[in-house]
Amino acid sequence: MKKIKKSDLNKLLSQWQQKYSVFAPSNHGVVKMTAWDGKDTTFLDWYRNTVVPPKNNFLPGMEKMFDIKKDAGYKLEVTADDTKQLIFGVRPCDARALALIDVNFKDGYEDTYYLNRRKNGLLVGLGCTSPCASCFCTSLNIHPAESQDVDVMFNDIGEELLIAEVTDKGKELLAASSGLSDATAADEAKAKEAKEATFKKVTRKINTGEIKERLMPSFENEEYWKNVAAKCVSCGICTFLCPTCYCFDINDEQSKGEAARFRNWDCCSFAVYTKMPMENPREEKWRRVRQKVNHKYNFFPMIYEQIACTGCGRCIRQCPVNWDITQVLSTLPEKAKA
């Protein structure tokens, strides 16, 4: 393992900036990963997690897919983003979320736009030291200060940051970096103690063992889902800020002699999400809420054998009406057990 003084982090990021577009937590309006300004590392003092998840760097809220131009015939120009990104400060929950999206966009179907960005991207993790009260990552088998889903992992050990290589890409990155020193056994012991303390700070818990068995029998329980959905205002915040949601819509814009195709995030909370020419199978709000919960904890696990939630708590923290997924899961009807 390696280590670096916190005061020297800007030098390290500046090195990486010579080869990559470096992104780091920024608090200009909404906390999200933005292009690093080349000097500011004060986020080490205030950063807990972003509001907009790092998935935005790989699956943007809006992106152009291709242009169509008409001349003698029609010419299609595909938009390719080959930017080499390095995202610094990714929390373990968000790194796991990207791994879950990877599964869908690799195995479900090959999304070249997303996969190309992931291929050209590096994830540098930063362990939590102060999880939010709404975090429940440990219930999803995610350690708030450890991750195998990043390329390099940083952990705060006081005046220094302990650095561990995780992947071959991470190993290459560190091998080409200067200003690092070897960590000592005392440093590693300090990191272990800090990680254990952070783990204990995650006090919100859910029991995932029975969720799937209780969700399916509850699927037709209209009274329950209407009660659960009662205060939801279908604003879509929980979906847009969820690090594992990947649904999108596609739209075309046309002008004289040319057109462009765009895609943008979409949300199963919206009444028009499933609207078709002849019907809308989820016109009622309770059906849409039921779908959202079941997709994360029932349908996705059926296909990929993984729960599509990382316990980041954004949907709880940012909800304008305090809708809480952990309360929903804890109140699934006991009588519906299989």
Please write the tens of the pLDDT for every residue from 41-70: 999 999 999 999 999 999 999 999 999 988
- Which residue, 168, 201, 234, sits at the end of a domain? 201
What is the 3-class SS of 74-136, one letter each residue?
Answer: EEEEECCCCCCEEEEEECHHHHHHHHHHHHHHHHHCCCHHHHHHHHCEEEEEECCCCCCCCCC
SS3 11: helix
Predicted model pTM: 0.94
Q: How does residue 338 score in pLDDT terms, banded at 50, 70 and 90?
A: very low
**Residue 251 pairs with which residues in a beta bridge?**
262
Say yes or no: 160 and 23 in one domain.
Answer: yes
Say yes or no: 179 and 268 in one domain.
Answer: no
Do the domain assignments include residue 206?
A: no
Digit-coded pLDDT (tens) for 268-300: 999 999 888 888 889 999 999 999 999 999 999
Do the domain assignments include residue 128?
A: yes
- Which residue, 177, 201, 225, sits at the end of a domain? 201
pLDDT at 336: 46
Q: How does residue 316 score in pLDDT terms, banded at 50, 70 and 90?
A: very high
Residues 6 or more apart from 141 whose CB is under 8 A from it? none
What is the identity of the amino acid at 198?
Answer: T
Say yes or no: 186 and 298 in one domain.
Answer: no
Digit-coded pLDDT (tens) for 225-268: 999 999 999 999 999 999 999 999 999 998 888 899 999 999 99
Say yes or no: 186 and 222 in one domain.
Answer: no
pLDDT at 79: 84
Closest CA to 241 of 267, 279, 207: 267
Say yes or no: 196 and 226 in one domain.
Answer: no
Do the domain assignments include residue 180?
A: yes
The structural domain count of the chain equals 2
Say yes or no: 195 and 232 in one domain.
Answer: no
Do the domain assignments include residue 327?
A: yes
Say yes or no: 217 and 167 in one domain.
Answer: no
> pLDDT higher for 258 or 142?
142
Give me the domain span that covers residue 294.
211-336
Say yes or no: 35 and 139 in one domain.
Answer: yes
Do the domain assignments include residue 220?
A: yes
Share of the chain above pLDDT 70, in %: 99
Share of the chain above pLDDT 90, in %: 86
pLDDT at 4 exceeding the cut of 80: yes
pLDDT at 337: 46
Mean pLDDT throughout 188-197?
97
Q: How does residue 335 score in pLDDT terms, banded at 50, 70 and 90?
A: low
Q: How does residue 108 score in pLDDT terms, banded at 50, 70 and 90?
A: confident
Q: How does residue 168 score in pLDDT terms, banded at 50, 70 and 90?
A: very high
pLDDT at 307 exceeding the cut of 60: yes
Do the domain assignments include residue 131?
A: yes
- Which residue, 183, 201, 219, sits at the end of a domain? 201
Mean pLDDT throughout 305-324?
97
Say yes or no: 230 and 138 in one domain.
Answer: no
Number of alpha helices (DSSP H) and beta strands (DSSP E) in the chain: 13, 12
Question: Over the chain, what is the mean pLDDT?
Answer: 94
pLDDT at 195 exceeding the cut of 50: yes
Say yes or no: 54 and 183 in one domain.
Answer: yes
Say yes or no: 290 and 316 in one domain.
Answer: yes
Q: Do 155 and 195 form a contact (C-beta atoms < 8 A)?
A: yes
Say yes or no: 117 and 91 in one domain.
Answer: yes
